[in-house]
């Protein structure tokens, strides 16, 4: 007699990629004029306690994620890196000094990303394959940065935000993972296409700005209507409403940085419960295994040689 099989209308949930950019509140680009690198040592450190909360939260929801970790933070708090690795998360690089790629020469960029990769691999005792540029600062004007990342041995970048924004973005870049002109896999942050525009739905300040229902709608649309995995990110300082306030920054910078910090952790818990989440390298393992490499250099407007 055949066994009864319950029928379900709900298809299996798509696993989305969850990522954290591991940096402290004084290292963000919005405060770069107020908090120079030379002052960082004297600032109150909050990243360690915020990371404890994040790792506990991921453990509670049984979620593995990718941590794009700043080299400067890893060097001073190696325990954070070791916990990321021992708890089964993916360790990835956010560069060493949190300088936007757009403000660096090729040599400076190369030194920064090389230093971060070496350091993270030494502390974490495992290969570091992923990289995310500070403030999504890779775009049409500096695609050479992708060549550098590949030469140094990264297997993917998650540094292009296909949106129009005053500080970053490459609005006509592909919205889903693609092989760039040099063959490096780029995994863009999530957007929703509305009319002729891409709206940012990948987290950060927009997650704090939008009501939670809107963020949920965006990710559901990416999963259900487009059949794609979303790429979401946040920062440890975004769950820290008590962080010291930085004086002297512009109104816009302060609005962007401090908006709804007290609401973020509760929203994150809903997000973790409502969707299925995983590490970048596991969610995009098929794309990473596709080893397409172009054999000739391409002009920047031919950025995407091959969607994967």
Residues near Zn ion (CB under 5 A) are 21, 23, 134
Smallest gap from Cβ 98 to Zn ion, in A, equals 6
Main-chain phi, psi angles of 4, to 5 degrees: -70, 125
Tokens of 54: 């994040």
Q: Please identify, using beta-carbon distances, which residue of 19 and 180 lies nearer to Zn ion.
A: 19
Tokens of 230: 């979303």
Q: Please identify, using beta-carbon distances, which residue of 27 and 223 lies nearer to Zn ion.
A: 27
Smallest gap from Cβ 260 to Zn ion, in A, equals 19
Q: Please identify, using beta-carbon distances, which residue of 124 and 134 lies nearer to Zn ion.
A: 134
Q: Please identify, using beta-carbon distances, which residue of 31 and 176 lies nearer to Zn ion.
A: 31
> What DSSP line would sit under the chain, residue for residue?
-PPP----SSPPPPEEEEEEEE--GGGSGGGTTTS-GGGGGGSPP-HHHHHHHHHHHHHHTT---EEEE-HHHHHH-HHHHHHHHHTTPEEEE--SS---GGGS-HHHHHHHHHHHHHHHHHHHTS---EE--GGG--SGGGTHHHHHHHHHT-SEE-----S--SS---TTS-SS-EE-TTS-EE-PPPEEEETTEEEE-SBTHHHHHS-HHHHHHHHHIIIIIT----EEEE-GGGG-TTSPPPTT--HHHHHHHHTTHHHHHHHHHHHHHHSEEE-HHHHTHHHHH-----SS---GGG--SEE-
Q: Please identify, using beta-carbon distances, which residue of 72 and 277 lies nearer to Zn ion.
A: 72
Smallest gap from Cβ 81 to Zn ion, in A, equals 16
Q: Please identify, using beta-carbon distances, which residue of 67 and 275 lies nearer to Zn ion.
A: 67
Smallest gap from Cβ 244 to Zn ion, in A, equals 18
* Region at 236 (left for phi over 0; alpha for psi -120 to 50; beta for the rest): alpha
Q: Please identify, using beta-carbon distances, which residue of 232 and 275 lies nearer to Zn ion.
A: 232
Smallest gap from Cβ 88 to Zn ion, in A, equals 23
Smallest gap from Cβ 2 to Zn ion, in A, equals 55
Q: Please identify, using beta-carbon distances, which residue of 177 and 236 lies nearer to Zn ion.
A: 236
Closest residue to Zn ion, based on beta-carbon distance: 21
Smallest gap from Cβ 52 to Zn ion, in A, equals 19
Smallest gap from Cβ 261 to Zn ion, in A, equals 16
């Amino acid at each position: 007699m055949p066994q009864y099989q319950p029928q379900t209308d709900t298809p299996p949930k798509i696993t989305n990629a969850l990522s954290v950019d591991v940096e402290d509140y004084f290292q963000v680009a919005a405060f770069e004029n107020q908090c120079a690198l030379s002052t960082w040592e004297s600032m109150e450190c909050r990243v360690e306690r915020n990371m404890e909360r994040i790792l506990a939260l991921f453990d509670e929801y049984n979620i593995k994620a990718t941590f794009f970790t700043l080299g400067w933070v890893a060097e001073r708090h190696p325990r954070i890196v070791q916990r990321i690795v021992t708890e089964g998360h993916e360790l990835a690089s956010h560069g060493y000094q949190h300088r936007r790629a757009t403000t660096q020469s090729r040599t400076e960029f190369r030194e920064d990303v090389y230093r971060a990769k070496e350091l993270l691999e030494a502390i974490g005792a495992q290969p570091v394959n992923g990289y995310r540029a500070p403030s999504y600062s890779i775009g049409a004007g500096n695609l050479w940065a992708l060549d550098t990342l590949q030469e140094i041995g990264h297997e993917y970048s998650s540094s292009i935000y296909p949106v129009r924004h005053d500080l970053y973005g490459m609005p006509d870049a592909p919205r889903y993972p693609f092989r760039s002109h040099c063959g490096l896999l780029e995994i863009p942050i999530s957007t929703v296409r509305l009319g002729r525009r891409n709206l940012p739905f990948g987290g950060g300040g927009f997650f704090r700005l939008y009501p939670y229902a809107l963020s949920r709608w965006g990710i559901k649309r990416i999963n259900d209507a487009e059949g794609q995995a979303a790429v979401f990110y946040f920062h440890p300082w975004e769950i820290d409403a008590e962080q010291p306030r930085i004086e002297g920054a512009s109104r816009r910078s302060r609005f962007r940085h401090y908006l709804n910090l007290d609401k973020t952790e509760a929203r994150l818990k809903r997000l973790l419960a409502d969707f299925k989440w995983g590490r970048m390298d596991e969610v995009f393992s098929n794309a990473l295994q596709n080893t397409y490499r172009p054999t000739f250099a391409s002009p920047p407007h031919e950025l995407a040689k091959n969607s994967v």
